[in-house]
Amino acid sequence: MGELRLMKGNEVLAEAAIRCGCDAYFGYPITPQSEVMETLMEQKPWESTGMVVLQAESEVASINMVYGAAASGKKAMTSSSSPGISLMTEGISYIAGAELPCLIVNVQRGGPGLGTIQPSQADYFQAVKGGGHGDYRLITLAPASVQEMHDFVKLAFDLAFKYRNPSMILTDGALGQMMEKVELADYTPRRTKEEIIDQCGSWATTGKTSGREKHVITSLEMDSHKMEQNNLRFQDKFKNIEANEVRYEAIRCDDAELILVAFGTSSRICQKAIELARDKGIKVGLIRPITLYPFPTAIIAELAPRVKGFLSVEMSAGQMVEDVKLAVYNARCITPVEHFGRMGGILPSPNEVVDALESKFLNQ
């Protein structure tokens, strides 16, 4: 059993980074996630594990510092909240285009624009459809507890290095600020230089030794035929990710007639809504996507022929609902798919979710 602590989601992100052997964090303050860098500065991991922590001049700089560190094979990360992630999208596109591993955490707040500092899930499209320019994807993990905030830091890095692709943890201000019991992992030492060369020596900027060709980390290719080949290689990688990395949780789906689909904070609310609905005799289950990209399409397609409907519950105007519809369409079904959500930093209440189930599927 690892060390147990009562911690905030944001603090846990920092703690998990240090414990999983992260090499560097670069960030810029923004509510509701500033505790990530504050915790790191307080912990001074440069004195213990040797992890670099630097406050950058902007999110544009943070993500480019991550790009630099990641190119040399380091485990580098940044965190921000919605407006800051928008600023990072150019850099994220470069990182994806140069096929580098890294971790970006988005502790979402309500938008658009400066919006609000309250929790939101309205950056779903930005996270799972690419966000920046060009055909790329982010491996996107959606924690639903402080424990998962901890666990997914390591998982996100592992997947990023496995596929040489940036990973994102898409969470929100509620999970960032919420305190829960968490079991902390033991410390994994940072990789040695030799270990980094073992793992990344075929591509990283570790210094051109006489035994090998120079390494050039770039997303540029002026020959469009070669650029198309690069894109085809990226698409193969994404197919591979879709085939192998889907993660989700199915809760009470066995006898369910209606399925809620919700991630992160809204999935927690939906669990309460299931209890309330079942008390009323409505057989409801929940699919909780853990990976938003790759989306758990197959399980939704599998459920589609035998359930009466899906309700996508999101803290947005309805973004993930499009992926639920696509999954149902892929199953060649006409099962109704509806959305319920609150916006602008408001959390839906469990009763509102039950009301939405009743009004959209039962009282017609």
Partner 1 sequence: MDINDIIKPENLVYDKSPLQIDTIMHYCPGCSHGVVHKLVAEIIEELGIQEDTIGVSPVGCAVFAYNYIDIDWQQAAHGRAPAVATGIARTNPEKIVFTYQGDGDLASIGAGEILHACNRGENIVVIFINNAIYGMTGGQMAPTTLIGQPTSTSPNGRDVALNGYPMKMTEIIATLPGTYYVTRQSVHTAATVRKCKKAIKKAFQNVIAKKGTSFVEVVSTCNSGWKMTPVGANTWMEENMFPEYVPGDLKDNDIQKPASGN
State how far the Cα of 156 lies from the Cα of 88, in Å rounded to an integer. 18
Among residues 80 and 265, whose Cβ is nearest to partner 1?
A: 80
Compute the least distance from the CB of residue 229 to partner 1, in Å: 18
Compute the least distance from the CB of residue 157 to partner 1, in Å: 15
The position carrying tokens 């609150």 is: 342
Among residues 72 and 120, whose Cβ is nearest to partner 1?
A: 72
Under rule CB under 8 A, residue 157 binds partner 1? no
Under rule CB under 8 A, residue 237 binds partner 1? no
- Using CB under 8 A, pick the residue from 44, 133, 181, 208 that binds partner 1: 208
Q: Is the dihedral of CA 207, 208, 211, 216 positive or negative?
A: positive
Q: Which helix (H) or strand (E) holds 37?
A: helix 35-43
Long-range contacts of 208-217 (CB under 8 A, 24+ apart): 217/71, 217/98, 217/100
Query: Which range, of 217-225, 265-273, 291-299, 329-337, touches partner 1 by CB under 8 A?
Result: 217-225
36 secondary structure, DSSP code: H
Query: Which range, of 64-72, 159-167, 290-298, 350-358, touches partner 1 by CB under 8 A?
Result: 64-72
Under rule CB under 8 A, residue 197 binds partner 1? no
SS3 230: helix
- Using CB under 8 A, pick the residue from 83, 158, 195, 205 that binds partner 1: 205
| Beta strand extents in 228-353 (DSSP E only) | 248-251, 258-261, 284-289, 291-293, 309-314, 337-341
Under rule CB under 8 A, residue 217 binds partner 1? yes
- Using CB under 8 A, pick the residue from 5, 31, 41, 56 that binds partner 1: 56
Query: Which range, of 4-12, 49-57, 140-148, 316-324, touches partner 1 by CB under 8 A?
Result: 49-57
Compute the least distance from the CB of residue 95 to partner 1, in Å: 10
Q: Is the dihedral of CA 344, 345, 351, 353 positive or negative?
A: positive
Asked if 175 contacts 149 with a C-beta cutoff of 8 angstroms, the reply is: yes
Instruction: Give the list of residues 6+ apart from residue 119 with CB closer than 8 angstroms, or none.
Output: 32, 108, 109, 110, 172, 173, 174, 175, 176, 265, 315, 345, 347
Asked if 120 contacts 159 with a C-beta cutoff of 8 angstroms, the reply is: no
Number of shown-chain residues binding partner 1 (CB under 8 A): 39
Among residues 196 and 253, whose Cβ is nearest to partner 1?
A: 196
Under rule CB under 8 A, residue 252 binds partner 1? no
| Footprint of partner 1 (CB under 8 A) | 23-24, 26, 52, 54, 56-58, 60-62, 64-72, 74, 76, 90-91, 94, 98, 205-210, 214-220
